[in-house]
Amino acid sequence: MKEIKGYIFDLDGVIVDTAKYHFVAWSNIARTFDYELTHEDNELLKGVSRVDSLEIILELAGKTLEDDQKKALLIKKNEEYLSLIEGLTKDEMLPGVEDLITEARELGFKIGLGSASKNAEQILVKLGVIDYFETIVDGNGVVNGKPHPEVFLTGAKNLGLHPEECIVFEDSQKGIVAANTGGFGSVGIGNAEELQEADLVISSFEKLTYSVLQTVFIELHNN
Ligand code: BG6
Ligand code: MG
Residue 94, φ and ψ in degrees, nearest 5: -70, 130
Residues 42 and 132 in one domain: no
Q: Which of 68, 66, 2, 77 is nearest to 32 (CA)?
A: 77
Digits of tens for pLDDT over the chain (223 positions)? 889 999 999 999 999 999 999 999 999 999 999 999 999 999 999 999 999 999 999 999 999 999 999 999 999 999 999 999 999 999 999 999 999 999 999 999 999 999 999 999 999 999 999 999 999 999 999 999 999 999 999 999 999 999 999 999 999 999 999 999 999 999 999 999 999 999 999 999 998 999 999 999 998 777 6
Residues 73 and 124 in one domain: no
Q: Which of 48, 142, 168 to mutate for ligand 1's pocket (most ligand atoms within 8 Å of CB)? A: 48
Residue 144 is part of a domain; what is its CATH number? 3.40.50.1000
Q: Supply the range of the domain harboring residue 153.
A: 6-17+90-222
Q: Is 173 in the pocket of ligand 1 (CB under 6 A)?
A: no
Residues 101 and 195 in one domain: yes
Q: Is 118 in the pocket of ligand 1 (CB under 6 A)?
A: yes
C-alpha–C-alpha distance, residues 1 and 10, integer Å: 20
Residue 30 is part of a domain; what is its CATH number? 1.10.150.240
Whether the pTM exceeds 0.95: the reply is yes
What Cα–Cα distance (Å) separates residue 26 from each residue in 33, 53, 55, 59, 150? 11, 9, 12, 14, 26
